[in-house]
A = this chain, B = another copy of it.
Amino acid sequence: MNVNFTFSTSTRVRYSETDQMGYCYYGNYAQFFEIGRVETMRSLGVSYKSLEENDIMLPVKEFSVSYHSPAYYDDLLIIKTTITAIKGAKIDFSYEIFNEQNHLICTALTVLVFINKRTMKPIQAPASFLNLLESN
């Protein structure tokens, strides 16, 4: 099913996340998208931690990102996350990151897969999760 649920959260670029170019290192954005996903799910009433405690995990299968302009040390980044589709075991997220001047830093897409931790097989998205999405 197509979905269109968006949530914004923020994170501040840490000193450890800069590199000698003076930019936020390109590899650190994966962590920011993770924060975006987790806080978006929390805003729906779904704790990713609880999902794992209930033997469901959600590894990333596909990930792509376009870097539009650099983020710098101490920038407060706005991570705008949208759940765009849930089809069978797959869930698609898209992301836009902006700085405080509302300048676009990067855009990204991920595909994640619901996995049963006991069987290690893909499973349908939990009904409770789908219900929360539909009622929002």
Give A residues with C-beta under 8 Å from B.
Answer: 14-16, 18-23, 25-28, 30-31, 34-35, 38, 47-49, 52, 57, 59-67, 70, 73-74
Give the residue name and chain of the B residue nearest to A27 (CB): B30
3 tightest Cβ-Cβ pairs between the two chains A and B: A27-B30, A64-B64, A18-B20
Count this chain's copies in the assembly.
Answer: 4
Chain B positions within 8 Å of A73 at CB level: 20, 49, 52
Chain B positions within 8 Å of A66 at CB level: 61-62
User: What's the least CB distance linking A103 to chain B, in Å?
Assistant: 15
A62 to B64 CA separation, bound complex (whole angstroms)? 8
User: What's the least CB distance linking A106 to chain B, in Å?
Assistant: 10
A51 to B89 CA separation, bound complex (whole angstroms)? 35
- 7 A-B Cβ contacts within 8 A? A14-B34, A14-B35, A16-B34, A19-B19, A19-B20, A20-B52, A48-B74
